[in-house]
Each structure stands twice: as C-alpha cells, then as structure tokens.
C-alpha cells in the first residue's frame, strides 16, 4: 500500500453518499430475487454474507412468530400500481415501503459500525491518535435527519431489540464498537466464526464487567508489574532491562489466558516474546523468583561457568501455575536479539508437545506469541508463520498473538514503520480476528483477552490482541527518547501510571480508600526489599539438561561417539518391506522400476545409492523406537526425484508411505512438503527437536545455498545449542 493510500484509508470505499440511492435500489432488487439484477451486483451482495440477508429474515420474523408482510418494493421507487383502488391503500403501501427502507438503512448503519467502528474506538492512552469524520458512521449518510432519530424502526433483535430508533442504535454501536476496544472481524469469510464473534461482542450478557474479586486480581497484577519495574529502576540505575513501563496491563492479560485455558483443559502454554517486558513476564507470570533476577543483575549467575552466557532479558524459564484447581505448565522460550525469530521455534515446540500429549484437537497445548508493533509489521518471519498456521505439517491449532503496541519502533514513528493503517494488518492474510484495546483500561484488556482465548479454543485459529500502550522511557533505560519524539515524551512525562489510573477508578467506585491502595503498594515493595537482601546468597539450580533431556547427557571420552550400525539381515528385512510395493497401491510404472532396482542393489550388496541408504537408515531407526520427521520443500518426492518416500496411487491419487509399513511396532515416519520458506520452517523444526530429543528431526534445504534464507536460525539457535 502506498503512502497516499495509507493516508486515504478512510476514503477507499465506493459506498459513498453520492451512490447511496442507487446502491439501495440494487439491494432491494437483490433481496426480492429480481432475475434481472446484474450478476456483478448479485455476487457483491453474496460476498457480503449473512449480514445483508439478515434484513429480509428479520422483517419476516422467525418461523414461530406472527406472519408479517414480506418486503415487496416497487423498483421504480415511488410509482404506485395503477390498479390500487383507494388513497388508504396507497398510504398503507407508502408507509410499509418507508418502514422497510428504514429497517434496511438502519441495518446498513449498524453494519458500518461492525466494519469500521474500530476507527473511532478510544484506543490511544496518550490521546495522540486523531480520528476523522467518517460519513458512513453517521445516520445522515443513510438519509436520516435529526427529526427521524426517535422514529420507531423494526430490527427484530439486531441490537438485541425487536424495535429501536436511531438514537438508541447510536448509543448501542458507540458503546459496543467505539469504546476502549476496537473489533475487526468482518473480514472473516467463515459465517460461523463471524456470527460467534458478533454475538460474543454484542450480546446483552457480555458487557465489560468484573466482580470485586476480579478487579482486585487485576489491580494486584498491575501493582506487581509496575512495582517491579520501579524497583529495578531504583536499584540498578541506567542498567538495561527493557522495562514494561506503560504496558503493565500485559501481565493480567497473560494471567487471563492461562486461567481460561486451565478451565478449558489446557495443560501447557508455550510463550515466545522479545526483550521488552521479558523480566516482568518471568517474574510475575512464570513466577521466577525476584531474588534470582536480582542476583542476575548483580552478575553472579551469568558469570558462572554453568551459565548460558547470555543477557538476562534473553533467558527463558518454566513453572507450573494453578488457577481454580487447574494446573497449567507455562514455559517461556529463550530468544536472541533478532526480533520475531523465536516465533517459529515456539510453534515447533508446541507442535511437538501436542504430539507428546496425543493432542489431536490441539487444545491441550497452546502457543502465545508477544510482539512489538514495529517488528510485527516489519519482520517477514511473522508473515511466514501466518502462512504455515493452517498447513497440515505445521498447524498448532492457532496462536494467540499479543502486540505490545507502544506506538514507536526504537526511534521510528508508525508512519515510517509500516504502509498499513495498523501494525496488525498482516494478520488479515489468514482472516484472523483482531481486537485493538486501550492498555490504560486493564478491564477492557482482560475482557478482550478472554474473547480472544475463547475464540482460539473454539475455532483453533490465530487471533490477535493489539494492545495500545506506550513506552515510558527510551528503547532502553539509558536512551533519551526526546531527541526524536519530543511531543510524545512531553505527553508521557505527565501521563499517570497504570496503577494510578486504575487505582483512582477503584477509589471512585468505593472499592478502596487512598490509604488502602497505598498499603497494598507498600506491601509489595516490602516483599521486593526482602528478596533483594537475600539475593546475594542465592544459589540457583542449573536445569539445562532435565526432563526429557536428562538421559542425553554426553558420555566422556571415546564413548561420546556412541554405537551405530545395523546387522545386514535386518537391513534386508527392512528392504523387503519398503521396496516391495503392494499391487493395490498402483504406483507410476517408472517408480515401480526404481523400487525393484533398489531391492536388487540391497540383495546383491552393490550399487546402493544415497536415497536407498537413507531409506534403510530411516527404517532402522523406526524399528528401534525412534520417530523420524523430515521436512523441506518437495521432500516427499525429493527435489531431484531421488527419494520417493510418498507414492501416489495413479488411479485415485491416494498416498502410500512405505516407511510406515515396516512393522506393527515401529514408530512413525512423517515427511512434510513444506511451503516455500526457509527461516520459519527451519525455526519450527528446531523448536520441534528441543521438545522431542527422541525424534530424528530433519530439515532439508532444497538446494545448498537455500540455507542462507534461514541464517538467523542457524546462527542464533542451532550454533548456540
């Protein structure tokens, strides 16, 4: 999208006021099934889906309601049939026509808010975002005058009411679509998903409302998040920590995902994120002890020989969290400075965990990916991960994405950081719903997170939370942001903190007094003081090779090489199973000849080529209890037509995999023809291998230098072990 188109985003629709009368006439013909309606208009209205058809159904009413007169509108607008006998009939017909037109236009107005209400949502906590006048979000665009605002309009439940008027409709759509959450879901083509979201958003029982306990839980997490950052700033002045200051509502949002997940049967949550706010997530979500983090700031752990030798805001951790009696294992993957590179690694880990749990529905293990706004829009691996999200070999049942949108990329403003209106727009390539939310409204943040989590678990698809916040300090704590963003940081310096904003709200609601709020803040600070005092003597347990990796500690001396090799009789037996193709497979005649030659070479012990040796190696591992997963571009057949590990039936196109037909007790051979990506696919397979050390996980570069496209994964993950 060009810069001009970016700035003119709101003006790209052909649904302008000038065309409204003509479009209305076309639509009336459409809902009355006019056979003369041009196909182009029929296709257009069909593509808009159930939202337009709902008008006719609403006016007819449900099957159990009293029958109403169906819409029958003369296409010549106000012309009256010549055979009408009286003025009374004429008046009735005109009133019915006007009533029908009011209903149609009212639903068009409501639909406009569903489509574009997010552009008027109150998302920016700093108030820097300017909203423009959008004609289609005003009743006058549809022909309603101020004097019409109280006129009764039949809607049959569109806004949860049978009848309404323009004033009530405006109140409803502004509260629903132009508040602290902006929803984008009308681009979703699946009607079931779109209707579910609409009902979830618009339902009478779905306001942003929390109990006293819920509000207290949110406040406590905000106090922890903000207090932790302030403590670090005071104790380690100028030290880089890439704080979460300004985006503290991320912490209660993550808590909500784990809580809802646990209630829904989720057993594990895999998290990937960059450095921004990482220490806060480690401490307040994964419950890494404060004193251990303070010890790392002192340098004692990171300088030891058992250390990973990396900076503290790159390290990962894991823990077991419990909500309402439901235990969920939560882990945060280590990451490098290369933004978004960890994404496919986390997805690969998730896929392997799902395999380990036998999680065919992909709801026992779910991934969460955190992003910065500039990186989400700028890094190509983000689009690669979306591209693989629905593929059989890489599907994880959907990812919950959270963009920590601090409206700046280091020193680069959004208008120079992307060509799209939102940083989240790349997610529309897979029709992911997007929930934009004001980070200074933590209740709205938790509410949006709840909807996103429910969507992910119900439909097994990606969903995006665009958390609008700000970065209180520079890119790091030693940076001066006013050099490049003087106006933004003038605003930020006077902007109240997250705890101040929410605390004042709860005080105004009578939930706390100022003294009670201060005592809660002081209690947490005292906890940090105690942890700080004991940090120097803290001796952490090193856990690099525990769990599934515990039996793979390297042996000393010559034993490092291990034992390899297979008896010749076993290889011949494997060959008999993989190179003799059952007749019902109906392979291509050329492939039949290839497999005959392979078997002959093994039987005679001469002329064994690479592909034949490879298949024997795979087969022997499968029989010994080791799964094999091979992934790459065209890996099933092989780029040079050398492998043929997946055979196609020439009659019905069905698949046959010889290596999965060796014996009943063998492990699985999985070969995946990957999509045309190197970085994301290699990252995925690396992540898979971290979780499944018992599986031989292979990524095959289609040509040697294709590995160049995955260099970040090689340098930052594989080379570092």
Query: Distance between the two ends of the chain, CA-based, in angstroms?
Result: 40
Mean pLDDT of all residues in 676-702:
96
Residue 548 or residue 74, greater confidence? 548
Over residues 84-98, mean pLDDT: 60
Taking residues 459-473, report their average pLDDT: 98
Q: Which residue has the higher pLDDT, 419 or 296?
A: 419
The CA distance from 368 to 396, in Å, is 11
| Cβ atoms of 639 and 704 closer than 8 Å | no
What are the tens digits of pLDDT across the range 106-151?
A: 999 999 999 999 999 999 999 998 888 899 999 999 999 999 999 9
pLDDT given at position 558: 77
- Least confident segment among 91-105, 133-147, 266-280: 91-105
pLDDT over threshold 90, residue 179? yes
Does 91 score more than 60 pLDDT?
no
Return the top range by mean pLDDT from 88-92, 546-550, 663-667: 663-667
Q: What is the pLDDT of residue 638?
A: 96
Residue ranges of the alpha helices (H) in 236-289? 250-263, 278-284
- Summarize the confidence of residues 516-522 as an average pLDDT: 98
pLDDT of res. 73: 39
The sign one gets for the Cα dihedral 597, 599, 605, 608 is: positive
- Least confident interval from 218-232, 389-403, 673-687, 703-717: 703-717
Residue 5 has pLDDT above 50, yes or no: no
Region 346-354: what's the mean pLDDT? 97
pLDDT of residue 239: 86
Q: Tell me how far apart the alpha carbons of residues 175 and 1 are, in angstroms, rounded to a whole number.
A: 31
* 542 phi/psi in degrees, rounded to 5: -80, 130
pLDDT, tens digit, for every residue of 369-399? 999 999 999 999 999 999 999 999 999 999 9
Name all domains of the chain by residue range, CATH numbers in brackets. 12-175 (no CATH), 212-549 (3.40.50.970), 567-718 (3.40.50.12470)
Residues 6+ apart with CB under 8 A from 333: 270, 271, 272, 316, 342, 345, 346, 349, 687
User: What does the pLDDT look like over 57-70, one tens digit per residue?
Assistant: 544 444 444 443 33
Q: Which residues, 6 or more positions from 194, have their beta carbon under 8 angstroms from its beta carbon?
A: 49, 50, 185, 186, 188
For the chain, give the mean pLDDT: 88
For 557-592, the pLDDT digits (tens) are 777 777 788 999 999 999 999 999 999 999 999 999
Q: pLDDT category, 81, cuts 50, 70, 90? A: very low
422, 466 contact by CB (below 8 A): yes
Mean pLDDT, residues 454-459 taken together? 98
User: Which of the four pLDDT bands, split at 50, 70 and 90, describes residue 1?
Assistant: very low
The pLDDT of residue 35: 82
pLDDT at 12 over 50: no
Query: What's residue 26's pLDDT?
Result: 76
Mean pLDDT of 160-177: 95
Q: Which residue has the higher pLDDT, 6 or 17?
A: 17
Mean pLDDT of 679-683: 98
- Residue 720 pLDDT level (bands cut at 50, 70, 90): confident
Q: Which DSSP string do the residues of 376-387 spell out, in sequence order? A: HHH-HHHHHHHH
Q: Where are the beta strands (DSSP E) in 373-509?
A: 400-405, 434-438, 463-468
What ranges make up the beta strands (E) of 165-245? 181-184
Each residue of 299-310: pLDDT tens digit? 755 445 445 556
pLDDT band at 545 (very low <50, low <70, confident <90, very high): low
């Amino acid at each position: 999208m060009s810069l001009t188109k970016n700035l003119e985003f709101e003006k790209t629709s052909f649904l302008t006021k000038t065309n409204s009368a003509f479009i209305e006439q076309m639509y009336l013909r459409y809902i009355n099934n006019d056979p003369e309606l041009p196909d182009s208009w029929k296709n257009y209205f069909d593509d808009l889906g159930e939202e337009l058809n709902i008008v006719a159904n609403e006016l007819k009413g449900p099957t159990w309601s009293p029958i109403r007169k169906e819409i029958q509108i003369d296409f010549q607008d106000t012309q009256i049939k010549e055979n009408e006998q009286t003025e009374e009939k004429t008046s009735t017909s005109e009133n019915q026509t006007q009533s029908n037109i009011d209903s149609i236009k009212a639903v068009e107005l409501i639909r406009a808010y569903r489509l574009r209400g997010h552009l008027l949502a109150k998302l920016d906590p700093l108030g820097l975002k300017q909203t423009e006048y959008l004609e289609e979000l005003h009743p006058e665009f549809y022909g309603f005058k101020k004097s019409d605002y109280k006129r009764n309009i039949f809607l049959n439940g569109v806004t949860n009411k049978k009848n309404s008027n323009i004033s009530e409709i405006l109140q409803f759509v502004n509260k629903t679509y132009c508040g602290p959450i902006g929803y984008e879901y009308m681009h979703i083509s699946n009607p079931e998903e779109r209707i579910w979201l609409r009902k979830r958003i618009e339902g009478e029982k779905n306001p942003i409302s929390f109990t006293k306990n819920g509000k207290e839980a949110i406040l406590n997490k905000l106090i922890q998040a903000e207090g932790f950052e302030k403590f670090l700033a005071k104790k380690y002045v100028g030290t880089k920590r890439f704080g979460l200051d300004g985006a503290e509502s991320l912490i209660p949002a993550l808590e909500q995902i784990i809580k809802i997940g646990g209630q829904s049967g989720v057993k594990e949550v895999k998290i990937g994120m960059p450095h921004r706010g990482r220490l806060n997530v480690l401490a307040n979500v994964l419950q890494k002890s404060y004193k251990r983090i303070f010890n790392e700031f002192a340098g004692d752990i990171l300088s030891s020989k058992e250390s990973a030798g990396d900076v503290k805001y790159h390290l990962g951790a894991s823990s077991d969290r419990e909500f309402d009696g439901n235990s969920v294992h939560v882990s945060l993957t280590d990451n490098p400075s290369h933004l978004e590179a960890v994404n496919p690694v986390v997805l690969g880990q998730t896929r392997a965990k799902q395999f380990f749990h036998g999680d065919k529905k992909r709801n026992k293990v779910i991934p969460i990916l955190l992003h910065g706004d500039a990186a989400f829009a700028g890094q190509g691996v983000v689009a690669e991960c979306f591209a693989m999200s629905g593929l059989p070999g890489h599907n994880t049942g959907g990812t919950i994405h959270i963009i920590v949108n601090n409206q700046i990329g280091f020193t680069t403003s959004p208008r120079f950081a992307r060509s799209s209106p939102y940083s989240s727009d790349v997610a529309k390539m897979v029709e992911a719903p997007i929930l934009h939310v004001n980070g200074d409204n933590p209740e709205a943040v938790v509410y949006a997170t709840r909807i996103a989590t429910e969507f992910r678990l119900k439909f097994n698809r990606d969903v995006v939370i665009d958390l609008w916040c700000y970065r209180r300090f520079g890119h790091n704590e030693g940076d001066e942001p006013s050099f490049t963003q003087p106006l933004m940081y003038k605003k930020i310096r006077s902007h109240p903190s997250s705890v101040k904003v929410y605390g004042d709200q709860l005080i105004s609601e009578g939930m706390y007094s100022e003294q009670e709020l201060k005592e809660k803040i002081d209690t947490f600070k005292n906890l940090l003081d105690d942890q700080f005092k004991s940090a120097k003597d803290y001796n952490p347990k090193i856990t690099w090779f525990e769990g599934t990796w515990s039996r793979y500690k390297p042996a000393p001396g010559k034993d490092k090489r291990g034992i390899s090799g297979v008896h010749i009789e076993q290889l011949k037996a494997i060959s008999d199973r993989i190179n003799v193709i059952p007749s019902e497979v109906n392979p291509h005649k050329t492939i039949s000849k290839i497999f005959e030659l392979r078997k002959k070479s093994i039987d005679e012990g001469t002329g064994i080529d690479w592909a034949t040796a490879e298949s024997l190696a795979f087969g022997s591992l499968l029989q010994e209890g080791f799964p094999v997963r091979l992934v790459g571009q065209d890996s099933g057949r092989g780029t040079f037509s050398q492998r043929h590990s997946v055979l196609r039936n020439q009659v019905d196109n069905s698949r046959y995999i010889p290596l999965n037909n060796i014996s009943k007790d063998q492990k699985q051979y999985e070969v995946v023809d990957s999509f045309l990506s190197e970085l994301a696919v290699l990252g995925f397979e690396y992540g898979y291998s971290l979780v499944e050390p018992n599986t031989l996980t292979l990524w095959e570069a289609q040509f040697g230098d294709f590995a160049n496209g995955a260099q970040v994964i090689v340098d930052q993950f594989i080379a570092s072990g």
